[in-house]
Amino acid sequence: MNLLVTGGCGFIGSNFIRQRLLEAGSPLRRLVNLDALTYAGNPANLADLAGDPRYTFAHGDIGDAALVARLLAEHAIDAVVNFAAESHVDRSIDSPEPFVQTNVVGTLRLLNAARQHWTRLPEPRRAAFRFLHVSTDEVYGTLTPTDPAFTEETPFAPNSPYAASKAASDHLVRSYQHTFQLPTLTTNCSNNYGPYHFPEKLIPLMILNALEGKPLPVYGDGQQIRDWLYVEDHAAAIWLVLQRGRTGETYNIGGLNEKPNLEIVRTICALLDRKAPRADGRSYAEQITYVADRPGHDRRYAINCAKLQRELGWAPRESFATGIEKTVDWYLTHRSWAADITANRYARERLGAKS
């Protein structure tokens, strides 16, 4: 398989690429990573894989139709996995337009290029071609504490500009399958966490702020509930769907770990108290600070991933307890990775927490 991954220098994309290139017996002949290297795209995430002869990096935007067409043809691409997206809710509230440009217009142009490439492929490569679009549970809106978890049939009800832009992109992918028979797949995931997570997101922000003696900002009462999915489990699920999923279908991917944000923060503090105690011997939990809630903040997300489990036999390997400990350990041993982002590329911007 020759694979085009878009947004591969971001958090989830880079973990997916690492998993694909490092797994034993990988069927990949070539993996092309197209990334615009906007604020969250970090080439350092994949620096140690740059020498792999199967790996090619291309700097560019999914909205550049000519570039995408050239990459698809030049590398004889058999499948596209689209991670490229603006994904930070707070940023979408401050400035929605970039989210529409990347998540909607960019996805549309990527679909057009993929369709044109696909129609020119000879059989059986044409029949085997796949376009997998990576999306989010936020397209479904919010849940009350007693509502059943989101399924693939849950109506879309996005509540932020980010979620609305992702919902629009999901609809475009569906339309290209139904109108043009482009063999598409869509995955909608719950909140990811793990290595290489950009420092503005909730879990890495709390780890890094704690270690730096800064406040740990918690929105509102901290009782917003999210379903937490370890990023390597997510990457494995995407690969499984790409290989064995039914075209035209959507698959929800969840971690089966519903936790309130405040519990997440307290768990991180307890792990750091044990692994990297404060010089004064006091708990990192003393740094927790409650801040005004985010506008339109969804109260609860929960993913029902029974379809993925039933049809493809997937299950997450990591519990939240094992995954969060691995995550804290990674950040403790990769302080320079985060420091480089904060110092060189993010110094003048306010760090906010995605939850």
Asked, for residue 292, whether it belongs to a domain, the answer is no
Secondary structure of residue 107 in the 3-state scheme: helix
Asked, for residue 266, whether it belongs to a domain, the answer is no
Q: Which of 22, 9, 49 is nearest to 239 (CA)?
A: 22
Asked, for residue 206, whether it belongs to a domain, the answer is no
Active site residues: 137-138, 162
Q: What pLDDT does residue 345 have?
A: 55
Q: What pLDDT does residue 347 have?
A: 44
Asked, for residue 347, whether it belongs to a domain, the answer is no
Q: Which of 135, 153, 137, 152 is nearest to 190 (CA)?
A: 137
Q: What pLDDT does residue 355 have?
A: 42
Q: What pLDDT does residue 340 have?
A: 83
Asked, for residue 263, whether it belongs to a domain, the answer is no
Asked, for residue 187, whether it belongs to a domain, the answer is yes
Structural domains in the chain (count) = 1
Q: What pLDDT does residue 344 have?
A: 60
Asked, for residue 202, whether it belongs to a domain, the answer is no
**Range of 84's domain?**
2-193+230-256+301-317
* DSSP state for residue 300 in the 8-state scheme: B
Q: What is the pLDDT of residues 276-326, one digit of tens each?
A: 999 999 999 999 999 999 888 899 999 999 999 999 999 999 999 999 999
CATH code, 150: 3.40.50.720
Distances (CA, A) of 286 to 209, 220, 223, 266: 12, 17, 18, 10
Distances (CA, A) of 125 to 30, 38, 53, 93, 118: 15, 33, 23, 42, 9
Q: What pLDDT does residue 354 have?
A: 43
Q: What is the pLDDT of residues 42-81, one digit of tens each?
A: 999 999 999 999 999 999 999 999 999 999 999 999 999 9
- pLDDT-flagged residues of the chain (< 70): 343-355
Asked, for residue 262, whether it belongs to a domain, the answer is no
